[in-house]
């Protein structure tokens, strides 16, 4: 039995594959989850310091484990470190640790792409992006791995950032990516609309009357009650809402809480990502004209994508063994 290994962000970047990650997520979400397989996130807070844990024991997966992140906000330059700890079912021991900053962006975009692959039409698509940060760029890469994109239009509030985004992604993906002067211009003729940027004052950044009749919306920016990204009108417009963590999306995100406060029946049009993948909602999916995918992130995504990266790094001889073993305790 070897020592546990450590996977740096640079190693993750070298071995990561979008299609591999999407296939792994689709396979796991297609299986039935036991009641304790993916519990809600846990937050421990004392004064200005906090720790968040996202545990998961996903079915049909070699690994189980958790992502931990924490910060002390009273230091001169606070920052957040992320780590994924993976246990191996075959040995009952810790298999590895992953620097999870980059992996978090990979898993978020790969999860959206796993839903996108089931909901988006099989034809060249126009993608409208609001946001120009890491998540926006990762999602553009993920979507381009699953479908042909005939054009990408991007808007963010800083012209230099949206122009840099357009240049970088155009060069990297070989796609026509253009900066848009307004969010309406970015989404006005899109087949798929991605929102990956909350406003500083938490006012919505996307409204239903900007959208083409049958555009699909992917929203990832509102993950707690205090955050807003899309207007309630966008949720009212959707005839199917696929949620990665159904209860958390419906009851713990600012966008859904605002929609409910506006009298919108959200629950009746919502299904889980498991329902999408296992086919139990196939009739509703087939009938949907204006689907939405709403993500808050979950430990199952960290474990599944982290495990795929761990396996690829080991196979490539890039995983760094740590100079120790845990003592362990016999059960």
Q: How far apart are CA 249 and CA 280, in angstroms?
A: 20
46 and 163 in a single domain? The answer is: no
Give me the CATH number covering residue 25. Answer: 3.30.1780.10
Domain hosting residue 127, numbered range: 111-297
264 and 280 in a single domain? The answer is: yes
Weakest-pLDDT range from 35-39, 92-96, 141-145, 269-273: 35-39
3-state secondary structure of 54: strand
3-state secondary structure of 273: helix
pLDDT in the model for residue 1: 56
Tell whether pTM > 0.75. Answer: yes
The per-residue pLDDT for range 201-242, each reduced to its tens digit, is 889 999 999 999 999 999 999 988 999 999 999 999 999 999
pLDDT in the model for residue 331: 87
Q: How far apart are CA 312 and CA 247, in angstroms?
A: 33
The per-residue pLDDT for range 14-46, each reduced to its tens digit, is 999 999 999 999 999 999 999 999 998 899 999
b/e sequence 312-321, b meaning 16+ C-beta within 10 Å: bbbeeebbee
pLDDT in the model for residue 9: 97
Question: Strand 240-243 vs strand 291-294: parallel, antiparallel, or unpaired?
Answer: parallel
pLDDT in the model for residue 224: 87
The model's confidence at residue 310, banded by pLDDT at 50, 70 and 90, is very high
Whether the per-residue pLDDT at 90 is higher than 70: the answer is yes
b/e sequence 84-116, b meaning 16+ C-beta within 10 Å: bbbbbeeeeebbbbbbbbbbbbbbbbbbbbbbb
| C-alpha Rg value of the chain to the nearest Å | 20
Q: How far apart are CA 200 and CA 227, in angstroms?
A: 10
Q: What is the mean pLDDT of residues 254-267?
A: 96
pLDDT in the model for residue 201: 85
Is 327 part of any domain? Answer: no
pLDDT in the model for residue 283: 97
183 and 273 in a single domain? The answer is: yes
Q: How far apart are CA 119 and CA 140, in angstroms?
A: 16
The per-residue pLDDT for range 120-177, each reduced to its tens digit, is 999 999 999 999 999 999 999 999 999 999 999 999 999 999 999 999 999 999 999 9
Give me the CATH number covering residue 226. Answer: 3.40.50.720
267 and 305 in a single domain? The answer is: no
What are the tokens at 309?
């990266």
191 and 120 in a single domain? The answer is: yes
Per the structure, how many domains does the chain have? 2
Q: What is the mean pLDDT of residues 108-113?
A: 98
32 and 181 in a single domain? The answer is: no
99 and 164 in a single domain? The answer is: no
Whether the per-residue pLDDT at 89 is higher than 70: the answer is yes
The model's confidence at residue 116, banded by pLDDT at 50, 70 and 90, is very high
171 and 236 in a single domain? The answer is: yes
H runs (alpha helix) in 120-212: 134-146, 159-173, 183-187
218 and 94 in a single domain? The answer is: no
């Amino acid at each position: 039995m070897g020592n546990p290994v450590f996977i740096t962000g640079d190693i993750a970047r070298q071995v990561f594959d979008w299609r591999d990650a999407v296939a792994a997520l689709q396979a796991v979400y297609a299986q039935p989850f036991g009641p304790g397989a993916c519990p809600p996130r846990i937050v421990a807070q004392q004064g200005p310091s906090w720790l968040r844990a996202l545990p998961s024991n996903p079915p049909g997966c070699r690994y189980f484990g958790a992502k931990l992140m924490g910060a002390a906000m009273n230091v001169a330059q606070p920052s957040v470190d992320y780590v994924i700890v993976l246990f191996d079912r075959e040995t009952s021991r810790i298999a590895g640790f992953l620097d999870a900053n980059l992996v978090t962006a990979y898993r978020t975009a790969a999860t959206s792409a796993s839903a996108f692959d089931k909901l988006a039409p099989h034809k060249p698509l126009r993608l409208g992006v609001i946001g120009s940060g890491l998540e926006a760029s990762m999602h553009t890469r993920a979507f381009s791995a699953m479908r042909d994109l005939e054009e990408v239009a991007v808007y963010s509030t800083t012209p230099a950032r949206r122009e840099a985004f357009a240049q970088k992604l155009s060069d990297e993906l070989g796609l026509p990516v253009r900066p848009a002067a307004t969010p309406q211009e970015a989404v006005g003729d899109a087949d798929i609309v991605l929102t990956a940027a909350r406003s500083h004052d938490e006012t919505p950044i996307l409204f239903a009357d900007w959208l083409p009749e049958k555009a699909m919306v992917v929203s990832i920016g509102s993950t707690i009650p205090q955050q807003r990204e899309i207007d309630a009108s966008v949720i009212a417009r959707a005839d199917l809402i696929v949620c990665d963590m159904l209860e958390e999306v419906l009851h713990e995100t600012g966008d859904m809480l605002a929609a409910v406060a506006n009298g919108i029946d959200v629950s009746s049009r919502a299904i889980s990502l498991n329902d999408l993948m296992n086919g139990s909602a196939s009739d509703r999916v087939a009938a949907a004209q204006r689907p939405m995918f709403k993500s808050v992130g979950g430990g199952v995504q960290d474990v599944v994508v982290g495990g795929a990266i761990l396996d690829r790094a080991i196979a490539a001889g890039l995983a760094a063994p740590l100079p120790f073993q845990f003592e362990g305790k016999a059960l």
